[in-house]
Amino acid sequence: MGSISKIDFTTFYNTINNELTTTPTTRHSLNPATRKPNPPVPISTASDLNHAVTSARTAFKSWSKLSPSDRRAKVIAFGEAISLHAEEFADLLVQEQGKARFQATIEVNMSGTWCKQIPQLELNDEILQDTADQRVIQRFTPMGVVAGIVPWNFPLLLAVGKIAPAVYTGNCIIIKPSPFTPYCALKLGELAATIFPPGVVQVLSDDGNIGPLMTTHPGINKISFTGSTETGKRIMRNCAETLKSVTLELGGNDPAIVCEDVDIDEVVPQIATLSFLVSAQVCMMIKRLYIHESIYDKFLSAFINFTKTLKTGHGTEPDVFFGPVQNEMQYEKVKDLFTSIQTENLNPVLGGTITDSEGYFVTPTLIDNPPDDSRVVKEEAFGPILPLMKWSNEEEVIVRANDSESGLGASVWSKDVERAQRIGAQLESGSVWINSHFQVAPNIPFGGVKSSGIGREWGIEGLKSYTQSQMMWVKK
Ligand code: NAD
């Protein structure tokens, strides 16, 4: 661990075969709070990718043969190294992603925890049949080389959330961060180089060119992708060429159903927070809020009052809750969605307009009871604009909640937990939370249904997704 302290967080390199490399041309992203350039990063070439794949294939031969406990020790050491650099990672995360410092700290801490906890899971052989003359064993063997393609909202956690299960199960992984947020991931690569053998964990930054090359590369066995539904479809099409395994964690438009028996003062701060973390740029934030009509007015007024207390500003300021949205493209998308307030004659009861400023700041906006077919209800906003709607009939609100292409998360809020579970069981989503939202854990599988994804990450099911199962038939 001696070399770990030498890592500096101001210059950025690819990590290929445990060597820090750069490229003839570089690029940079912008700090979303100031639109000022962040430091240069490599634009990896096809030859960099080939080099990384060859190194990973070589490393796989010995890494896959290590015992799970040897690999466990390395992944845990990686988690400890992340925790040792928690302050630097949190600062860098604010600088590149824009999120409030306390939310960056949460992401960094979760990343350390994921590395320490995922390898506590045990993926054991399963005896499928055991008779007097024959035993059938199901084994879980690593796939080979995995490419992890990561979005810009949780650049650190979503990279770590792929690295830890992939390498623990015996694979080698190449991470490709989003061009908008490559910085923390590149530092993860450097840290990994101080812990893992060459070729086990590699990180390549790009300008958008490397992702498609990964999905068609014959030396890569699996793509683990987190990002938008549209890109997910493109990736799946490309992966068909070489029959790669894919896990797709895609967009969401999560509903939350609030029943009439909730304690409004207690749940409003929770529901507002779970609608607006990372300025609502989270796949599983609450994006459609259905409130029972008998408490609607009181709930809305409490919601407005609470949201007013959440400060917008640079993530570096200590009491900020809303940082900017992450990039120009997202800012323009959110601004376009704001135009529907006028074109669809919606009623904003807080915010409603965006004033141009030095960063990509968006005024938190609440829309009072918009029609179900309005854009703000139908589209994944990925910015702090939230529709609040009335409901009166349980069956009807379930139909409305399910009336979406997305199926990532959903929640039901009620003191009557049995009733809430009954409603929750009818919601079409990969996760359903009763009296919470957006809870995730390293030991619990996570993923979407419908257009929100294919496969699960984390938990034992997530570990299995990085393996192929082999049936061994043993005649006694
Ligand atoms: P995106 O799809 O634009 O990009 C994600 C990554 O894919 C980036 O690294 C990008 O460079 C790469 N990429 C783009 N085109 C590619 C291609 N053709 N082949 C291979 N790689 C390609 O997504 P984004 O804008 O970065 O992220 C926002 C979206 O991600 C939202 O829809 C959000 O809901 C979703 N998301 C989902 C989850 C989840 O776990 N389900 C988590 C976070 C974000």
Q: Supply the CATH number for residue 399's domain.
A: 3.40.309.10
3-state secondary structure of 225: strand
Instruction: Give me the sign of the Cα torsion angle 203, 207, 209, 215.
Output: positive
Q: What is the DSSP letter of 277?
A: G
Cβ–ligand 1 contact at 228 (below 6 Å): yes
* Rounded-to-integer distance, Cα 195 and Cα 337, Å: 45
Q: How far is CA 75 from CA 39, 100, 471, in A?
A: 29, 28, 28
* Rounded-to-integer distance, Cα 416 and Cα 413, Å: 9
- Please tell me the distance between residue 80's alpha carbon and the centre of ligand 1 in angstroms: 28
Q: Which of 150, 130, 146 is nearest to 138 (CA)?
A: 130
Does residue 91 share a domain with residue 41?
yes
Query: Where are the strands (E) in 38-154, listed by range?
Result: 41-42, 126-130, 134-142, 145-149
* Rounded-to-integer distance, Cα 95 and Cα 116, Å: 26
Whether 8 is covered by a domain: the verdict is no
Whether 153 is covered by a domain: the verdict is yes
Does residue 374 share a domain with residue 393?
yes
Query: For a pocket test of ligand 1, which of 158, 231, 454 has the largest count of ligand atoms closer than 8 A to its C-beta?
Result: 231
Q: Which residue has the tokens 């995360």?
A: 93
Cβ–ligand 1 contact at 215 (below 6 Å): yes
Whether 334 is covered by a domain: the verdict is yes
Does residue 214 share a domain with residue 335?
no
Q: Check: CB of residue 450 under 8 Å from CB of residue 428.
A: yes
Does residue 350 share a domain with residue 301?
yes
Ligand 1 atom at minimum distance from 223 CA: 20
Does residue 259 share a domain with residue 245?
no
Ligand 1 atom at minimum distance from 149 CA: 9
Does residue 227 share a domain with residue 263?
no
Domain of residue 39 covers 14-250+450-475
Does residue 261 share a domain with residue 172?
no
- Please tell me the distance between residue 210's alpha carbon and the centre of ligand 1 in angstroms: 13
Q: What is the CATH number of the domain that holds 135?
A: 3.40.605.10
**What pLDDT score was predicted for residue 164?**
98
3-state secondary structure of 305: helix
**What pLDDT score was predicted for residue 318?**
87
3-state secondary structure of 446: strand
Cβ–ligand 1 contact at 227 (below 6 Å): yes
Does residue 231 share a domain with residue 270?
no
* Rounded-to-integer distance, Cα 39 and Cα 31, Å: 10
Instruction: Give me the sign of the Cα torsion angle 101, 104, 106, 111.
Output: negative
What Rg, from alpha-carbon coordinates, does the chain have?
Answer: 23
Whether 1 is covered by a domain: the verdict is no
Q: What is the DSSP letter of 219?
A: T
**Residue 243 CB burial class (10 angstroms; 0-12, 13-18, ≥19):** exposed
Whether 7 is covered by a domain: the verdict is no
Cβ–ligand 1 contact at 455 (below 6 Å): no
Q: Check: CB of residue 141 under 8 Å from CB of residue 187.
A: no
Does residue 351 share a domain with residue 283?
yes
The count of domains in the chain is 2
Instruction: Give me the sign of the Cα torsion angle 464, 444, 66, 54.
Output: positive
Q: Which of 466, 410, 418 is nearest to 439 (CA)?
A: 410
Single-letter amino acid, residue 364: P
* Rounded-to-integer distance, Cα 190 and Cα 376, Å: 41
298-303 long-range Cβ contacts below 8 angstroms, 24+ apart: 298/264, 299/258, 299/264, 299/268, 299/388, 300/349, 300/366, 300/368, 300/388, 302/264, 302/265, 302/268, 303/268, 303/271, 303/272, 303/366, 303/388
Q: Which of 3, 35, 2 is nearest to 356 (CA)?
A: 35
- Please tell me the distance between residue 151's alpha carbon and the centre of ligand 1 in angstroms: 5
3-state secondary structure of 263: coil
Q: Check: CB of residue 141 under 8 Å from CB of residue 170.
A: yes
**Residue 343 CB burial class (10 angstroms; 0-12, 13-18, ≥19):** exposed
Whether 177 is covered by a domain: the verdict is yes
Does residue 265 share a domain with residue 139?
no
* Rounded-to-integer distance, Cα 205 and Cα 42, Å: 6
Which residues make Cβ contacts (< 8 Å) with residue 472, sequence separation at least 6?
136, 137, 138, 139
Query: For a pocket test of ligand 1, which of 43, 204, 226 has the largest count of ligand atoms closer than 8 A to its C-beta?
Result: 226
Q: Which of 303, 248, 307, 324 is nearest to 413 (CA)?
A: 303
- Please tell me the distance between residue 249's alpha carbon and the centre of ligand 1 in angstroms: 9
Does residue 143 share a domain with residue 215?
yes
Q: How many CB atoms lie within 10 A of CB 84?
A: 16
Give the DSSP H/E element, type plus range, for residue 76: helix 68-84
Residues across the chain? 476
In the structure encoding, which two tokens stand for residue 70, read together?
A: 């040897």
In tens digits, the chain (476 residues) has pLDDT values of 334 456 899 999 999 999 999 999 999 999 999 999 999 999 999 999 999 999 999 999 999 999 999 999 999 999 999 999 999 999 999 999 999 999 999 999 999 999 999 999 999 999 999 999 999 999 999 999 999 999 999 999 999 999 999 999 999 999 999 999 999 999 999 999 999 999 999 999 999 999 999 999 999 999 999 999 999 999 999 999 999 999 999 999 999 999 999 999 999 999 999 999 999 999 999 999 999 999 999 999 999 999 999 999 999 998 999 999 999 999 999 999 999 999 999 999 999 999 999 999 999 999 999 999 999 999 999 999 999 999 999 999 999 999 999 999 999 999 999 999 999 999 999 999 999 999 999 999 999 999 999 999 999 999 999 999 999 999 99
| Catalytic machinery residues | 249
| pTM exceeds 0.75 | yes
Q: Are strands 453-454 and 30-31 parallel, antiparallel or unpaired?
A: unpaired
- Please tell me the distance between residue 145's alpha carbon and the centre of ligand 1 in angstroms: 20
- Range list of H helices, 197-316: 210-216, 229-240, 264-276, 296-308
Does residue 241 share a domain with residue 260?
no
Whether 354 is covered by a domain: the verdict is yes
Shortest-distance Cα residue to atom 8 of ligand 1: 178
Whether 443 is covered by a domain: the verdict is no
Cβ–ligand 1 contact at 249 (below 6 Å): yes
Q: Are strands 14-16 and 19-21 parallel, antiparallel or unpaired?
A: antiparallel
Q: How many CB atoms lie within 10 A of CB 425?
A: 10
3-state secondary structure of 247: strand
